[in-house]
Amino acid sequence: MFTSFRALPTLSRLPDLPGPITRLLPRLIEPLGGVGLVRRALSRKAINRLAYATTLRPRPLSMLSDYTSWRSLTDRSYSGRHLPPATPEFMDALPAQSDVLPLFRREQEIRATDTSVMFVFFAQWFVDSFLSTDREDLRKNHSNHDIDLCEIYGKRIEQTNLLRSGHGGRLKSQVIEGDEYPAFLFEPREPGGPLVFKAEFEGLHDEEFITQRILGDAPDDRKDSFFAVGLEHGNSTIGSTIMNIVWVREHNRLADMLAAEHPGWEDDQLFETARNIAIVLLVRIVVEEYIKHIAPFDFPVEAVPFIADGQRWNRMNWSAIEFNLLYRWHSLVPDAIGEGPEQLSSTEFRNNNPLVLSTGIEALMKRCSHEPAGKIGLLNTPYFLTERFQGDQPSIEERTIALSRGARLQSFNRYREAYGLEHLESFEALTSDTDLSERLERLYGHIDNLEWYVGIFAEDYPDYMMMGELITTMVANDAFTQALTNPLLARHVFTADTFSEAGMRVITETVSLEQIVARNSTSPDAVRVSFKC
């Protein structure tokens, strides 16, 4: 991944390598993963290079105010920000938001070269845990700023307690036709009847928000199988539902394993230790499978043990507004999954737990692992994220553009400089798509006026990457400096005392999401999970 950034300082952009080289390089790079010490050394170098790409936390400003205050330095309910706000002059010169939306609207669907829909679903499920924008005050983020698997545990202790079974360290679950699933959230009801939280889940989430807003436009027969999980949006796509099922199963498997090894442990210790293990498994999957896929050439990056221990970038996590925005990978979402009679339209892969229950997670994950995602870039956001439905409410993409404007982000070029990348001199340097570069030039006039949220998606990139240079650098910077700082990875915490001996073995042995799915499946041979299609 990483050599491409700084080892080629004299090139103004990432090179378009000749086809044979781009095909050959991965074959040269991938085997490095098999050579432990080489992989570790290169990973360490790459992680640190990206972690030090820009200034470090703590940063003087948050979204709270335009000047530094004790609250801007300590109150993490407000999103952080990497750079101070743009000048009023810069903001005033921007085109109307209504003229920006068409830059995102999908004209002709473009698929990614090797990214699967499985990647998309994992990304959405994963990101929902640390980017949880307040519905009323967009400057705020409700998350704990850590990878904490709140998707299945909830964000607050009160939620966690409602989700726990209270015995054996397990989470509440149910068995349907021999397979384990999270518990249902609602009381059984007559078709079309009112949705009521089970008493045992009272207070888990905002009841009105879930029944009216999230399930507002869902077909009635899909509502009863809504699972009780950690986040309000945990059932919004089949992908999120599948991931929650996988991790609830894994948590309960770990709890059972610990109970067998430690018959004297009570529910609390079994639960907490299983959670410790599960969180570290997730961090490992995120770095070694998910970030690996994002990296150029799928460089086999390793979650180097204790790498954060000696680093200046190891500072308190604080998700920035830029991280929140750059993760809006709407263009990854295809119009539909598959072809023919089995094709799933967007309305079928949203709010559709009955599909998951009837098809099974193995078959769906296999299908999603073969299906290419959309390609990240402009002109490729699907219609249901750009167009207005539901009483003319702004679309998701419109709301995102508005959020980036509200955050008064500095220009694309300013961010390139802040991340050590060279200043671009023209729209032609941004993208070789001349239609697009001319369109952007007409809209913004000068490359220095280009707004960041458009620029990061306009930047074109060779096939061995999955997004542009700036967005790759920024996502890697925030990801590495906030995933590898997880307290469970710290030197005096990452021990058998924290995970148990059995837990340490599980952590060592687990290298892929596919493994986790398979060991919790009643049909392990049918399991195929891949972020690369």
DSSP string covering 73-109, please? HH-TTB-B-SSPPPPHHHHHTSPPHHHHHHHHB-SS-
From 16-24, 54-62, 91-99, 435-443, span contacting a second copy (CB under 8 A): 54-62
Q: Which is nearer to a second copy, 419 or 464 (CB)?
A: 419
| DSSP alpha helix (H) spans, 335-433 | 346-349, 353-359, 361-370, 383-386, 396-406, 412-418, 427-430
Confirm or reject binding of residue 393 to a second copy (CB under 8 A).
no
Return the residues of window 243-272 that contact a second copy according to CB under 8 A.
268-269, 272
Cβ proximity to a second copy, 197 vs 499, nearer residue: 499
Choice from 101, 215, 238, 279 touching a second copy (CB under 8 A): 279
Q: Coil, helix or strand for 532?
A: strand
Q: How far is the CB of 227 from a second copy (least distance, A)?
A: 21
Nearest-CA neighbor of 242 among 184, 181, 285?
181
Among 59, 205, 249, 366, binds a second copy (CB under 8 A): 59
Min dist. Cβ of residue 281 to a second copy (A): 14
Query: If binding is defined by CB under 8 A, does position 161 make contact with a second copy?
Result: no
**By CB under 8 A, residue 492 contacts a second copy:** yes
Instruction: For the CB of residue 168, give the shortest distance to a second copy in the complex, in Å.
Output: 16
Locate tokens 């970030």: which residue? 291
Interface with a second copy (CB under 8 A), residue from 276, 431, 510, 530: 276
Residues in CB range of 446: below 8 A, 6 or more apart: none
By the rule CB under 8 A, 165 interacts with a second copy: no
Closest separation between CB of residue 515 and a second copy, Å? 23
Least distance to a second copy, CB of residue 274, Å? 10
Q: Which is nearer to a second copy, 395 or 410 (CB)?
A: 410
Give the closest residue to 469 by CA, choosing from 427, 428, 415, 425: 415
Give the separation between CA 401 and CA 94, rounded to whole angstroms.
12
**All residues at 6 or more sequence positions from 69 whose CB lies less than 8 Å from its CB, including other chains:** none
Question: Which residues, 92 to 151, sit near a second copy by CB under 8 A?
Answer: 144, 146, 148
Among 18, 192, 263, 310, binds a second copy (CB under 8 A): 310
Residue (of 279, 373, 299, 273) closest to 332 by Cα position? 373
Please select the residue that binds a second copy; options are 418, 493, 504, 511, rule is CB under 8 A: 493
Radius of gyration of the chain (CA): 23
Amino acid at 173: S
Considering the complex, state which of residue 141 and residue 498 has its C-beta at the smaller distance from a second copy: 498
Q: Is 358 left (phi over 0), alpha (psi -120 to 50) or beta?
A: alpha
Contacts with a second copy, residue ranges (CB under 8 A): 55-56, 58-60, 65, 67-75, 144, 146, 148, 153, 157, 268-269, 272-273, 275-276, 279, 309-310, 312, 314-316, 487-488, 490-493, 495, 497-498
